[in-house]
Structure 1
Amino acid sequence: MAQVTFDTIGKTYPNGFEALKPTSFGIEPGEFAVLVGPSGCGKSTLLRMVAGLEEITSGELSIAGRVVNDVDPADRDIAMVFQNYALYPHMTVRRNIGYGLKNRGTSKQEIAAKVDEAASLLNLRDYLDRKPSQLSGGQRQRVAMGRAIVRDPALFLFDEPLSNLDAKLRNQMRIEIKALQRRLGVTSIYVTHDQVEAMTMADRIIVMNEGRIEQIGTPSEVYHSPATEFVASFMGAPPMNLMPAELDGGQVRLFGATIGETTHTGDVRAGVRPEDFLPDPEGTLMMNVEIIEELGAHRLLHGTLGDTSVTVQVNNENGAGVGPIKLSIKPGAACLFDRKSGQRL
């Protein structure tokens, strides 16, 4: 298990574009860290820098205590699983999994043993003599993972490995990858733009936006205590409701209802998760429900508070219909953000 340390790591291209602003953080041995953010935020650039596929233009990257800025990718003791599987179509599953070991000069007996072990781990024993074209998308992804496992690396890198799969298979593979990583105990860095993947798989999430890190924390910390408005709006499905709030003598008011106190004096915005609104006959917030979305275990009420669009989550037994409904907010559930900086107060 390897520790990965980023010491003021940055990436600037020759044309002056700063793809990754200098940043410092660490990934602990055996940790499953997920880089998440919208397209173009710098997460894949950061992963490729760890892999040695992208030059580091500032700072130092250490893997297991060794600075690897100038170390060739093949000598970094890493294994990477790609989005497009990167399998050799003319080779069988057996040969695909063992190909990297063969290039290293590993003996045939050791290759056979490692391939068999990986195939057992990934439920691929019945497919070892098939070609990739004869496999489903999920099976191809398992083959790609098998090729990484046999190398016995210090670090796994995953570059959006599930984005080509359908929703049901993606859910299944999320569980399989996380269970496999826990069983092997290998430090792993996983890149995705899907915040549900990040929430369900990560030990810690690194939320990125426009080349910088917005927040690092456990899924619970990132969800319940977002550091910025961007994190609040990006993490969560549906996302946090962000609404203009007013300050009155230190009290924070939302559409006339007092929701907290602050010493802040600037313009503020309140954030409330959909599930933290409560239908309440005595509530002081009046929502106009326009659309109801049935999701089985719960329902989403879409409408407006004042002139602000909001989403409220209720259980499937709640009989709210289209029209006005009174709401309150769970005590302590509202977040407060500075409107100028977007930082949480």
Structure 2
Amino acid sequence: MAQVTLNNIRKVYPNGNEAVEPLSFSIADGEFVVLVGPSGCGKSTLLRMVAGLEDISEGTLSIGDSNVNHVDPAERDIAMVFQNYALYPHMTVRKNIGYGLKNRKIPAAEIEKKVQEAAKMLNLTEYLERKPSQLSGGQRQRVAMGRAVVRDPALFLFDEPLSNLDAKLRHQMRIEIKALQRRLGVTSIYVTHDQVEAMTMADRIIVLNAGRIEQIGTPAEIYHRPASTFVASFMGAPPMNLIDAQVKDGRVVIDGDTPVADAQGTGAVTMGIRPEDVEIGPTCDMPFTIDIVEELGAHRLLHGKLAGQDFTIHIGKDVAAVAGPIRISINPDAVVLFDAETGVAL
């Protein structure tokens, strides 16, 4: 296991394209950190620099106490799990899992012991003599993880490993990967564009946008106190509601004069509120027009208009959803304010 430290890491390609702006952060020994962001934000490039598969243009990368900027990928004591599994189709599960150890001249008896241990851990024992074509997507991903586990690395790197799986398998594999990482205690960096994966798996999340860090924090910090409107709109399903508002006379007001929460300062702001931090009822103070009701079994989403702006409300299955106008109230303690021009949290 190892701490990972990135100090002003930057990536610029020969054509001048800056894929990753200078950024710095540290990952503690045994921590599970998720890099999340939209396509093209630089998360996979950053992971590949840690792996040694991309050159670092500027800055220093340390794994443990060693600067590894110019260390060959094979010498970095890492194991990487890819999106496409990268299995050898002509080899059995047993040989796929143990192949890397064989290349390192590990004795056959020790390889077999490690393969058996990994197979038991990942529920692959009965599939050891099968080839990848005889396995499901989830089983193939377990084989790829088994190949990483037997190496006993200091660092696990996951590059969107679940994106080729269906929704049910993704949910199952999220649980399995997190449970495996906790059991082994190996420092892990996980890349995904799926904010649900990030929220459910991470000890800490690093939100990336256009090659820069928007926010670093625990899932709860990212969700409840986003650092920008980008984070607020990217993290959460559904995302945070963002409404044009004003601060005047110590109050946040929408629609000209409807007070929502206390605030300091004055002028235009963007008000953020999560869909679940809204109540509905006849004694509430704001009219809300419902356009669409999404039935999701355990809960409902009401999509409509508040003060003429798009707005979503999350309600439980026991709350009757009605068509047309209703009245709502916003929890003032859950309101987050952002600068109307820059989108940065105030």
Report the TM-score when normalising by structure 2: 0.98
- Pair 1:143-2:143 in alignment: yes
Count of aligned pairs between the two proteins? 345
Q: What is the match of residue 331 of structure 1?
A: 332
Tell me the equivalent position of 1:342: 343
User: 3-state DSSP class of the match of 1:152?
Assistant: coil
In 1, Cα distance between equivalents of 2:308 and 2:46:
40
Structure 1 CA distance, aligned partners of 2:245 and 2:82? 44
Q: Which residue of the partner structure matches residue 98 of structure 1?
A: 98
Distance across 2 between alignment mates of 1:191 and 1:19: 16
Distance 1:130 1:79 in 2: 23
Instruction: Look up the equivalent residue of 2:325 and give its one-letter code.
Output: P
Q: Is 1:277 matched with 2:268?
A: no
Contact 2:248/2:265 (8 A) holds in 1:
no
Return the offset for 1:296.
1.2
Distance 1:86 1:306 in 2: 52
User: What residue identity is the alignment partner of 1:154?
Assistant: A
Describe the SS at the equivalent of 1:87. coil
Residue 266 (structure 1) shift = 4.3
Q: What is the aligned partner in structure 2 of residue 182 from structure 1?
A: 182
Letter in 2 for 1:286: P
* Structure 1 gap segments, 5+ residues each: none
**Match status 1:126 vs 2:132:** no
Alignment of 1:161-200 (within 5 A): 161-200=161-200
Instruction: Note if contact 2:248-2:266 (Cα within 8 Å) is conserved in structure 1.
Output: no
Output the CA distance in 2 between the equivalents of 1:80 and 1:165. 18
1:315 corresponding residue in structure 2? 316
Determine the structure 2 residue equivalent to 1:300: 301
1:262 aligns with 2:263: yes
Give the match's secondary structure for 2:243: strand
Q: Aligned to 1:151, what secondary structure does the other structure show?
A: coil
Deviations 1:130-171 (A, max 9, x none): 000000000000000000001000000000000000000100
Unaligned runs of 5+ in 2: none
Partners in 2 of 1:187 and 1:203 — Cα distance? 11
How far apart are the structure 1 equivalents of 2:196 and 2:175? 12
Instruction: Tell me whether 1:214 sits opposite 2:214 in the alignment.
Output: yes
Post-superposition shift, 1:276? 0.6
How many angstroms apart in 2 are the aligned matches of 1:338 and 1:261?
16
Q: 33-42 vs 317-326, which deviates more?
A: 317-326
Deviation per residue, 1:220-252 (Å, 9 max, x gap)? 000001010000000000000100001222321
Matching of residue 16 in structure 1 with residue 16 in structure 2: yes
Pair 1:155 & 2:155 matched: yes
**What is the aligned partner in structure 2 of residue 114 from structure 1?**
114
* Cα contact 2:249–2:266 (8 A) shared by 1: no
Instruction: Give the Cα separation in 2 of the matches to 1:290 and 1:196.
Output: 26
Separation of aligned partners in 2, 1:106 and 1:195: 39
TM, length-normalised to structure 1:
0.98
Task: Give the alignment's Cα RMSD to 1 decimal.
Answer: 0.9
